[in-house]
Structure 1
């Protein structure tokens, strides 16, 4: 009951050089987050979106002590890791894999990356931060090798404090990521058009040829 079935929706799965793994938010679905790709320059990417059981990766807020979200949190992190392996098994190199997520999916994505830092192609976090009542840097390892990470969020946001966004960006920078942090006044808990424009600019600025 506390484990996730490894189930995902994929688009463009026939041979592709680049991939994006998209993680949906609480109450949403894999199909929902795949719609985000329509607004990003990823037409030639293979797209993968794992599904959370009952549309929730973990039950309590991301700012709760991590043990309160176990065993769901560990299961969710395992799903992301298995998704990465699935993408690699399809012949896509690590440095050609992008990540994107919104809200709970963005938090899960950042937590997975910090625990398994490697020079992936990049990551787009729409309203998210590292998980826990505090940031547990002892859980984090690896080196991003100048991998680009975009983090956008509203000021204020009802679920993700700006302070946690900024703290998370600092941790990721110390792990050798190139972090672009954008805080949008009164945007609300959503993905705004200006945010999409900024994320698209970052994604487009890296050579995906």
Structure 2
């Protein structure tokens, strides 16, 4: 089970009006994903980055049957839930909370959001999809009420099949999210400049077409 270990940066949570929860990838650290803030328009955000125990949110591929990734998967989802509750307790409403993740962190971001759909500030997933050997709609509840979502990924990607990205987009749209999906040919398992541009559109609260 994950030990709660949340690294903070940016504006102090007690005085911030907006917050960004940042979820790192497999084998990485909270500080790694926090370094992405240098490329994001988050100067007025509190930044909150949970650290996975042993640097991994769950042991197997996100395409494994969910039971194989337990109890780590449920523990990871609970860590994100606790981060949201922490921000709520500091006076930051869900509408001002943004979620961002890369790779395994992107999968966790999307899975958490779909299981706890509500009006968030925005959701940004750099190379990820909903978790499981199949899509399990019975796990998903709520309505995103127009929450802007960006999902970017490579085709092909060694870890994330593009078909899962498409399926994820459809699920989120059906749950009331406004999804911008971008698939980049042969991008590799990384984050490109165009993805950062899309992320900043959401973080600035701009319409998706800008």
Return the offset for 1:151: 0.1
CA distance in 1, matches of 2:201, 2:84: 24
Return the offset for 1:82: 0.4
Provide the residue aligned with 2:5 in structure 1.
7
Return the offset for 1:205: 4.1
Provide the residue aligned with 1:135 in structure 2.
135
Name the SS of the counterpart of 1:98 in structure 2: strand
Return the offset for 1:199: 2.1
Say how many residue pairs are matched: 205
Alignment of structure 1 residues 113-128 onto 2, 5 Å: 113-128=113-128
Provide the residue aligned with 1:105 in structure 2.
105
Q: What's the TM-score, normalizing by structure 1?
A: 0.95
CA distance in 1, matches of 2:145, 2:111: 17
Provide the residue aligned with 2:44 in structure 1.
44
CA distance in 2, matches of 1:201, 1:143: 22
CA distance in 2, matches of 1:20, 1:102: 13
Deviation digits for residues 88-141 of structure 1 (CA, Å, limit 9, x no counterpart): 111111100001000000000100000010101111100000000010000000
CA distance in 2, matches of 1:202, 1:118: 16
CA distance in 2, matches of 1:174, 1:148: 13
**Alignment check: 8 A CA contact 2:122 2:202 kept:** no
CA distance in 2, matches of 1:171, 1:141: 11
Alignment of structure 1 residues 2-81 onto 2, 5 Å: 3-11=1-9, 12-13=11-12, 14-81=14-81
Alignment of structure 1 residues 140-159 onto 2, 5 Å: 140-159=140-159
Return the offset for 1:203: 2.8
CA distance in 1, matches of 2:75, 2:189: 26
CA distance in 2, matches of 1:82, 1:109: 13
Q: What's the TM-score, normalizing by structure 2?
A: 0.95
Return 5+ residue gaps in structure 2 as ranges: none
Return the offset for 1:204: 2.5
CA RMSD of aligned residues (A): 1.1
